A and B are shown apart, each in its own frame.
Chain A
Amino acid sequence: MPMIEPVPPKAEPPPPLLGSWNRLYAVVVGELLLLLLLFLIFTWAFS
């Protein structure tokens, strides 16, 4: 068995959109933060 080491993202081919994995991860985390903000507004607006 080879060494168990996490492979750095740079060693992988880029995703088919956005050009790099880090950008794609930022979109996923950014969407979560945006949803959190919208949920806070939603809770506040209708409470």
Chain B
Amino acid sequence: MSRLDWAVLIAALLFVVLWGLYKGRGAATGEGYIGGGRDHRWWLIGLSIVATQTSAITFLSTPGQAYVDGMRFVQFYFGLPLAAVLLSITVIPLYHRLKVSTAYEILEARFDLKTRLLAASLFLIQRGLAVGITIFAPALVLSVLLGWSLHANILLVGTLVMLYTVTGGTKAVAWAHSSQMLIIACGMLLAGIMTAHRLPAHVSLSDALHVAGGLGRLNVIDTHFDLHSRYNLWSGFIGGTFLMLSYFGTDQSQVQRYLAGSSVTQSRLGLLLNGMIKVPLQFLILLLGALVFVFYQFHTPPLFFNPGPVKQVMAGPDAGAYRALEGDFARAREHQSQVAEAYVTARHSGDPATIATAKGQLQQAHAASEVVRKQGVALIEKANPGTNPSDTNYIFLAYVLSSLPVGLVGLVIAAVFSGSMSSMSGEISALGATTVVDLWRRLIGGSQGQREVWVGRIATFVWGGFAMAFAEYAARLGSLIEAVNILGSLFYGTILGIFITAFYVKRVKGGTAFYAALVAEVGVVACFKFTAISFLWYNVIGCVAVVALAWCFSFAQPAEVQPCS
């Protein structure tokens, strides 16, 4: 990185931290620290919600996903606007009316303490583990591509986040989120413009999209119903809606964002803003990945984007074979570039037969270079047994470092740091809030005054420290990291089922919902272990199982149900 890149990166990080510290000062009560003073406007809530769910690895991996697999990942978010509307109608007015600080408080009012503690504990377990991965994964990418120390990276992100999150609580997190979203938006927008600009002069945007589409990278919609396919229209709409209902309705890292709203109106508008911008935002990030793919049709990419495993191959007995493959790949890609040029020329001729022939040749050339790439990946797997042979997370940043101008590299890396910090701050703030409200305040009976601010700070600090320690340990977890990443979908359906039972199945009492949730969770884990069902469907299975089991179990409980009042 150049001095200008360093200057941009340092200035951006200082801006985020100082802005968060400045705006988060002065929390005098536990409610002010955890609830952010409940005076946030809709746009601040909306930005904070988007920032919490935009982790750095999503930001690094999404363009890479479009490069490798096309744009169908956007379907994952189709349930989000529907969930935003449903939650605006149902839970937001309820949470405001009951003046709760965490989502789980409601469960004690409706059922009993153990159901509240079960839901809060499921959140603390899955979110507590996931937050470590949130900072580990981008730190790993940065350390591999830039040669930075992994430990220093984790320590830097964790320390910066804790500076403003521990001191200022929810208000500091929300205001820091607004500055982080500004950096992320500027970085991605400029990277997109520059990528389009760096295509060969005679390749228009329309040509670029036809090249990407001809090679299967603009497959936004897949209408085939397949339980084993990870992203299609149906898993996005059905599974995605259940996932988003649970994430935005019951996950404290999101609930805390809109509970800071000054009124039901402000909270609703914030959540609906997120519902309106998330799908087009993901589309644009994926489109950036597709443009990077087109860029590499006219420039030769590396055989494998992650240099870490390549070093392992080069240090072993297959180094010669890998070098030979690199030569084959370079030649195959050079031929592919010529064919891509011919396709663009054919498109400009306007003759349908010539275009069809050139497109077929481009597809053949791409398939031939992919065969060589797969051989390279096989050598990498052989030299690195047990590691994930995917370089998806490395593609975008490798492109940025090799192809974008000085200054913009620093801004994009600042955007990666911002993504890492925004999700970590929202998550440790929520973990601290749940620890204080659902454990300390409820079980120990603490007050809501200045003492609770300090308890909140200690809890947030401890969760931040845990996240950093887990991130350090994550390097040794290997393939278990993937399991941690889908941990959310293992629990979200069950938690949503508990809440839906609380709201809509009146005849169910406390113990019944608790035991139904435990049985349903065993069922979801069994699906994960023994079936090939795609993870988005676990949300549907868990939720439906809790509601159905609780309803069935309720016939074995005393007939009279006392409403909570």
- Return B235 CB to nearest CB of chain A, in Å: 15
B218 at the interface (CB under 8 A from A): yes
A42 to B, closest residue via Cβ: B220
Residues of B within 8 A of A21 (CB): 88-89, 268
Q: Are B81 and A15 in contact, with the CB atoms below 8 A?
A: no
Return the contact of A35 from the options B91, B98, B279, B563 (Cβ within 8 A): B279
**In the assembly, what is the distance between CA of A40 and CA of B423, in Å?**
32
Q: How far is the CA of A29 from the CA of B531 in the complex (A)?
A: 34
Q: Of A1, A2, A11, A40, which contacts B221 at CB under 8 A?
A: A40
Contact (Cβ within 8 A) B81 A29: yes
B74 within 8 A of A: yes
Chain B residue nearest to A11 in the complex (CB): B93
Interface string of B89-108 (1 = CB under 8 A from A): 11101100110000000100
Does A19 touch B at the CB level, under 8 Å? no
- Asked if A29 contacts B565 (CB within 8 A), the reply is no
- In chain A, positions 1-47 with a C-beta closer than 8 Å to chain B are 1-7, 9, 11-13, 15-16, 21, 24-25, 28-29, 31-32, 35-36, 39-40, 42-43, 45-47
- Residue B110 lies at the interface, judged by CB distance under 8 Å to chain A: yes
B93, A36: Cβ atoms under 8 Å? no
**Contact yes or no, A12 B98, CB < 8 A:** no
Q: Which of B146-154, B207-215, B431-439, B486-494 contacts A (4 or more CB under 8 A)?
A: B207-215
On whether the beta carbons of A6 and B90 are closer than 8 Å, the reply is yes
Contacts of B503 in A (CB 8 A): 4, 6
Q: Which residues does chain A contribute within 8 Å of B109, judged by CB atoms?
A: 1, 4
Chief secondary structure at chain A's binding surface: helix
**Closest chain A residue to B218 by CB distance?**
A46
Closest-by-CB residue of A relative to B107 is A4
B128 contacts A by Cβ under 8 Å: no
Question: Counting CB contacts under 8 A, is B459 at the interface?
Answer: no
Among the stretches B269-277, B368-376, B537-545, the one at the interface with A is B269-277
Asked if B502 is at the interface (CB within 8 A of a chain A CB), the reply is yes
On whether the beta carbons of B94 and A7 are closer than 8 Å, the reply is yes
Please name all residues of chain B whose beta carbon is closer than 8 Å to the beta carbon of A46 when the two chains form the complex: 209-210, 212-214, 218
* Of A6, A15, A42, the contact of B268 (CB 8 Å cutoff): A15
B57 interface hit (Cβ, 8 Å): no
**A28 → chain B, closest Cβ, in Å?**
5
Query: Which B-chain residue is minimally distant from A12 (CB atoms)?
Result: B264
- Across the interface, A9 reaches (CB within 8 A) one of B89, B98, B209, namely B89
Known contacts A4-B110, A36-B221, A40-B221, A12 near B272 by CB under 8 Å? no
Partner of B213, one of A3, A15, A47: A47
Given A28-B84, A32-B81, A39-B221, A7:B97 Cβ within 8 A: yes
Whether a CB of chain A sits under 8 angstroms from the CB of B265 is yes
Interface assignment of B417: CB less than 8 Å from any CB of chain A? no
Whether B89 contacts A29 by the Cβ 8 Å rule is no
Within 8 A of A (CB), among B210-264: 210, 212-214, 216, 218-221, 264
Contacts A28-B81, A28-B276; A12 near B265 (Cβ below 8 A): yes
Q: Which residues of A contact B212 (CB under 8 A)?
A: 46
Which residues in window 47-97 of B have CB below 8 A to A? 74, 78, 81-82, 84-85, 88-91, 93-94, 97
Name the one of B78, B89, B98, B218 contacting A25, with C-beta atoms under 8 angstroms: B89
| A5 contacts across to B, CB distance below 8 A | 94
Q: Is the CB of A1 within 8 A of B564?
A: yes
Assembly CA distance A42 to B220 (angstroms): 8
Which of A2, A43, A45 is within 8 Å of B565, CB to CB? A2
Q: How far is the CB of B396 from chain A (nearest CB, A)?
A: 21
List residues of chain B with CB within 8 A of the CB of A24: 272
CA of A15 to CA of B269, assembled, Å:
8
Give the residue of A4, A11, A31, A43 whose beta carbon is less than 8 angstroms from that of B219. Answer: A43
Q: In the complex the two chains form, is B265's CB within 8 Å of A43's CB?
A: no
Instruction: State A32–B84 Cα separation when bound (angstroms).
Output: 12
Give A15 to B272 CA distance when docked, in angstroms: 12
In the complex, how many angstroms separate the beta carbon of A27 from the nearest chain B beta carbon? Answer: 8
Interface pair B220/A43, CB less than 8 Å apart: yes
B98 touches A6 (CB 8 A): no
- Point out the residue from B74, B93, B264 that lies within 8 Å of A6, measured CB to CB: B93
Instruction: Return the chain B residue nearest A37 by Cβ.
Output: B221
Q: How far is it, in angstroms, between the C-alpha of A12 and the C-alpha of B367 when the chains are bound?
A: 58
Residue ranges of B at the interface with A (Cβ–Cβ < 8 Å) = 74, 78, 81-82, 84-85, 88-91, 93-94, 97-98, 106, 109-110, 209-210, 212-214, 216, 218-221, 264-265, 268-269, 272, 275-276, 279-280, 283, 502-503, 563-565
- The 3 A-B pairs at the shortest CB distance, nearest first, are namely A46-B213, A7-B93, A1-B109
16 contacts between A and B (CB under 8 A): A3-B564, A3-B565, A4-B94, A4-B110, A4-B503, A6-B90, A7-B94, A13-B265, A21-B89, A25-B89, A31-B276, A32-B82, A32-B279, A40-B221, A42-B218, A47-B218
Q: Assuming A21-B88, A43-B218, what are 12 further A-B pairs, CB within 8 angstroms?
A: A1-B565, A4-B94, A4-B98, A7-B97, A12-B264, A13-B265, A15-B265, A29-B85, A39-B74, A39-B221, A42-B218, A43-B220
